[in-house]
Amino acid sequence: MHEEKIALVDSQIRAVQRAISERSIENVYFVACGGSLATLYPSKYIIERETAAVNTNTYTAAEFFNDPPMRLGEKSLVILNSQSGGTAETVAAAHLCAERGAMTAAFTTAPDSAIEKAVDFIMYYYDNPADPYPAVLTIFPEVYKLTYALLDVWNHTSRLPEVNEAMLRLQSTFDEACTAYLPAARTFASRYAHEPIIYTTAAGLNSCVGYVLTNCLLMESLWMHSSPLHAGEFFHGAFEAVDDTTAVFALLGLGNTRPLEERAVKFLQRKTKKLTVLDAAALDLSAYPEWLRANTAALVLNRLAAMYCDEMSYVLGHPISSRRYMGVEKY
């Protein structure tokens, strides 16, 4: 059953790959909202650093729709993401892209939804908090697959099979990491569940993990105050707000921007005792090709951050799925 789904997704990604290999693309725009935008961010980040063939950027869908880039047109590939399939801003953006002659491809969990009807290519992912699908079928790993499918075309490489293999191993990496970090997650949860604010810090590719942690987990799911601080920006303003009463959740990745993240951690270790650090250097990523380890580390950090917040939801007696506005009232 899962094998069938994986085969379907891979064929959907190959369809996008074939289409762009037959078309001259100059710009790749990633357009979505909230967590659905954050999960596209790795693709922007990796493409920008691994090919000179295209330009790329990310946009929250409402801004893209109301004030689109002038270059949006026939040489644009627009990648969208709507978990529910009906996110109004994202669907509106998809229609605008079609009017402008751009090629569109969207991720969604909802077959035959409004977003599927609005785009040229659809890619399904699977999301069920009650009975989780294997990691390979969730959004981040699929975004990685698409990213390398596109890069293979633009860079004349053939790395996609290796990425597909690697993403299949992700579930066991997640399971091992979650087992190893469960005590730390419980300590975090019991220590910081009642903090007035918990900042997150990250840099580079991990910025999207920090954003998911702040926006989707701490704010949306736990109704706590937070802000996603970029570790490079931190020393140019935000750090002045930190004192020894300030809780911070810092991410340390394995990519080229690790020195920025380390600098923030070193400073925070001196300034606050309420510091939680998730360091990817402690993870066993030997099952992955060396060139893919830094990017894979971000996915594991993201999985662990979610577990830390699950543990916090138990301490608070506040189910992680609780919403007071989203889907509850009109706004």
- How many chain residues are in contact with its own copies, going by CB under 8 A? 69
What is the CB-side half-sphere exposure of residue 43 using CA atoms within 13 A? 34
Cα–Cα separations (whole angstroms), residue 27 to 54, 73, 121, 266, 283: 5, 9, 17, 38, 35
End-to-end CA distance of the chain: 39
Task: Verify binding: residue 225, its own copies, rule CB under 8 A.
Answer: yes
Task: Verify binding: residue 243, its own copies, rule CB under 8 A.
Answer: yes
Task: Verify binding: residue 60, its own copies, rule CB under 8 A.
Answer: yes
Task: Verify binding: residue 43, its own copies, rule CB under 8 A.
Answer: no
Task: Verify binding: residue 84, its own copies, rule CB under 8 A.
Answer: no
With CB under 8 A as the contact rule, the residue among 4, 99, 317, 331 that binds its own copies is 331
Interacting stretch for its own copies, rule CB under 8 A, among 112-120, 241-249, 303-311, 313-321? 241-249
- Of the two residues 57 and 287, which places its CB atom closer to its own copies in the complex? 57
Taking the complex as a whole, the smallest distance from the CB of residue 182 to its own copies amounts, in Å, to 25
With CB under 8 A as the contact rule, the residue among 96, 170, 216, 297 that binds its own copies is 216
Task: Verify binding: residue 74, its own copies, rule CB under 8 A.
Answer: no
Task: Verify binding: residue 21, its own copies, rule CB under 8 A.
Answer: no
- Of the two residues 112 and 324, which places its CB atom closer to its own copies in the complex? 324
Task: Verify binding: residue 293, its own copies, rule CB under 8 A.
Answer: no
Task: Verify binding: residue 272, its own copies, rule CB under 8 A.
Answer: no
Interacting stretch for its own copies, rule CB under 8 A, among 69-77, 121-129, 160-168, 295-303? 69-77
- Of the two residues 34 and 141, which places its CB atom closer to its own copies in the complex? 34
Task: Verify binding: residue 48, its own copies, rule CB under 8 A.
Answer: yes
Positions that interact with its own copies (CB under 8 A) = 27, 33-37, 48-52, 55, 57, 60-63, 66-71, 73, 87, 89, 196-197, 203-204, 214-216, 218-221, 223-228, 230, 232-233, 235-241, 243, 246, 255-257, 259-260, 263, 266-267, 271, 323-326, 331
